[in-house]
Structure 1
């Protein structure tokens, strides 16, 4: 039995790793050890609980107002201590967070092969998104196995000199999670949203929290307020818990009659909210995948994206971080039914719901315990997933 350490710390990592963790737990070839840094304390725990999971080891690295370097350092330091006591044959990390970087470095220092899930995403701009772009590039340099969601992600890695033999295109595990969530019964997660069952207005789900957007958060929040002035429109803002985000945005959106501000929702509740939405407006990486997969026009609050496939497919569009661009593109979709329809029916480039299976197969093949995984080839439409989740 192969012992595999899985390091995670944030809600997105929990969403995208939960089903692979469960699959590894059920596979007699593997003994997974889940290590949480606690980078997103409550949101992480709630998300893992929704999938019936809890960490085997909790590093509890966070402290109030902790800086990014402090989070990374404390995660690395605690991981170094824990890995001395675990005889693991691989260490699995996901994506591009401080927990990802710390996990990969700790594995590298202990000469444990690093497996990078959601490898190969690139914006082409080192400081956007920050620090994610830098983190994912650094992790790629010390990973032994790269599990790329799309063929484009594989091409990015090969351009950087990663050997093709160490890359497997799996699709994105977020699609698997969406399919699983669609079969669960769940409320909207907040009493303020329960009237969405009967509210006839069009719903825009809006959020912004990435560090590179912080200087423009007041302008972004003002854009949300102006969108909410449109007739028969309701804007729902799940507001990030970071105090810097809240202090910048609440003065603009807190009292608007057509804006509902809620705390970050449990994962299953957020999935239900996204299915109810008419438009998604966000800088969230997960929303850029979830929206296109569910046939929801997705407007990305950024000038660049590491998830270019949805933009190329036509189901997502970059709107920048300036007030005028955000408002103009959102109102265009609200006022032009044909423009909305074209984005809603574009192809889903991110997965077919089999990424978890390919992830386990790729890991087994890495150890010589099974045949190679058959790579994911894009080709499904958003409607395919929407029907499965109905």
Structure 2
């Protein structure tokens, strides 16, 4: 079994599966990093104690999607020829996942796709992930779907039901694995007043660059100024298109804490202690219900509608008025807030990795 990934979200979602595979007799698991991310990925590797067999070390400063894509295809082919896997596993919708899948297809190695079937049906939202995952679907031999909605999407695109395994999302497994490993406190939050209600923010999507982010940041500024009992925690993405605008609009606003990017464990810590989450991150949409925190999704469309349908998340887009209005409702109405607290996580029950192992026994027998 060859598992390849290159970003933090992939590592988080593969961590519980890698652990299960290495604890289960009959499976040999070879882990390859592409290095699409570096330090953010390394944090997760250390936190979950993932043993890495090889690292392609592709990352360089200011790398383009074209650079990452080309280098992965060239270098990963050598890994396939060396390892000679029975099955290759990719996760999600990154450049790494797509290019590894293409390389495996060229080598005629069967491909398993973890978190298959997510769709917005808009090729540019999110960009480039929507097209990445659709292309992987047409390359993959086995599709591990996280939900009935994702399963229906795959069937709609012509994937045989016999090739789909509906297992839930391993991100919920990862949260359960992480809980006992998270420390009691982290110094990065020392300036935050936890006597106030905490709003946790992430905003970095390419499709929001420019006016979208400007509306988000002005909305956050308005929320903080209206509510004197909140602190806003925003780990700012390093991309200058995000960080420059964030510091210009929010840098001098009282009770707004613009921080370095958080580690995965710090992110878990603050999600557990915050009052409300506003995010454009797919992973945080999935993780938040495990911490029983309402989510306002700072995107116009989402490929993860399960939270919306369950009532634990609300799509507010990048419009300043909509963001402020939705946040005010949850901050002013205890009834509205309680309605959005998840009783169970609609994305999974923490047993996805076990189901995948069971399915793999059938596939590889």
| Structure 1 length-normalised TM | 0.90
Q: Does residue 1:199 correspond to 2:160, yes or no?
A: no
The match for 1:224 is 220
Q: Measure the CA separation in 1 of the matches of 2:62 and 2:223.
A: 32
How far residue 323 of structure 1 moved from its aligned partner, in angstroms, is 1.5
Q: 1:36 to 1:352 in 2, by over 3 A?
A: same
Partner SS state of residue 6, structure 1? strand
Partner SS state of residue 85, structure 1? helix
Q: Deviations over 1:208-241 (max 9, x none)?
A: 1111111222222222222221210111001122
Q: 1:203 to 1:94 in 2, by over 3 A?
A: same
How far residue 32 of structure 1 moved from its aligned partner, in angstroms, is 1.1
Q: Deviations over 1:108-140 (max 9, x none)?
A: 111100000000111111110111110000000
Contact 1:315 1:345 in 2 (8 A): yes
Partner SS state of residue 136, structure 1? helix
Superposition pairs for residues 178-189 of structure 1, below 5 Å? Answer: 178-189=175-186
Q: Deviations over 1:59-112 (max 9, x none)?
A: 111111111121111122211222221111111000001111111111111110
How far residue 357 of structure 1 moved from its aligned partner, in angstroms, is 0.7
Q: Deviations over 1:269-320 (max 9, x none)?
A: 2111101011110000011111123221100001111000110110001001
How far residue 245 of structure 1 moved from its aligned partner, in angstroms, is 1.9
The match for 1:80 is 77
Partner SS state of residue 137, structure 2? helix
Superposition pairs for residues 206-217 of structure 1, below 5 Å? Answer: 206-215=201-210, 216-217=212-213
Question: Quick check: 100-109 or 262-271, which moved more?
Answer: 262-271
Contact 2:182 2:269 in 1 (8 A): no
RMSD over aligned Cα atoms: 1.4
Q: Measure the CA separation in 1 of the matches of 2:343 and 2:25.
A: 40
Superposition pairs for residues 111-150 of structure 1, below 5 Å? Answer: 111-150=108-147
Partner SS state of residue 209, structure 2? helix
Partner SS state of residue 266, structure 2? helix
| Structure 2 length-normalised TM | 0.96
Superposition pairs for residues 344-383 of structure 1, below 5 Å? Answer: 344-345=341-342, 347-368=344-365
